[in-house]
Amino acid sequence: MIDCCLLVPERATMECGNNQEFKEFFRLANRKREYELVLAITPVANESEAAAIVESVSGYIADQGGELSEQQTWGIRRLSFPINKFQEGNYVRALVSLEASSVAGLERTLKANEEILVHMVSRI
């Protein structure tokens, strides 16, 4: 039978007490990992606006305890299919070091930004 402490992290501290095995499990689950982040920003945004968008994403990553280690601007490229009536996007690629538990919040932040047409976060 699967222990409920493994499935629900909040219950691990309440019901399992000070079990060192569970603490080690959750410490390893929340260690920093490397991710590749690719953004397609609206082509309407000029270079300074695109840099400001990337800077805001970088600020969010820093607030979550992560860091943006490498950034490449690929420039304006054609999208595979139209997104919000745009045929092109200003692409930016970055390498990010972030805790696994913070990735879902990063994806929500990227999805909420209307200037970002599409994004991809993949673990390296």
**In this predicted model, what pLDDT tens digit does every residue of 6-37 receive, in sequence order?**
555 555 555 555 677 767 766 666 689 999 99
| Position 96, amino acid | V
pLDDT digits (tens, 9 = 90+) for 56-93: 999 999 999 999 999 999 999 999 999 999 999 999 99
DSSP string, 13-30: HHHSTT-HHHHHHHHHHT
Fold for the domain defined by 32-123: Alpha-Beta Plaits (3.30.70)
Neighbours of 43 (CB within 10 A): 17
Does position 42 have pLDDT exceeding 50, yes or no?
A: yes
d(CA 22, CA 27): 9
Q: Read off the tokens for 46.
A: 């000029």
Backbone angles phi, psi at 38, to 5 degrees: -120, 125
Give me the pLDDT at residue 24, please.
Answer: 73
- Structure pTM? 0.74
Measured distance CA(98)–CA(110) in Å, rounded? 15
Q: What is the dihedral of CA 7, 119, 63, 34, to 10 degrees?
A: 70
Q: State the pLDDT at residue 1.
A: 44
Which residues, other chains included, contact 82 with Cβ-Cβ below 8 Å and sequence gap of 6+? none
- What pLDDT is recorded for position 84? 94
For the chain, the structural domain boundaries read 1-30, 32-123
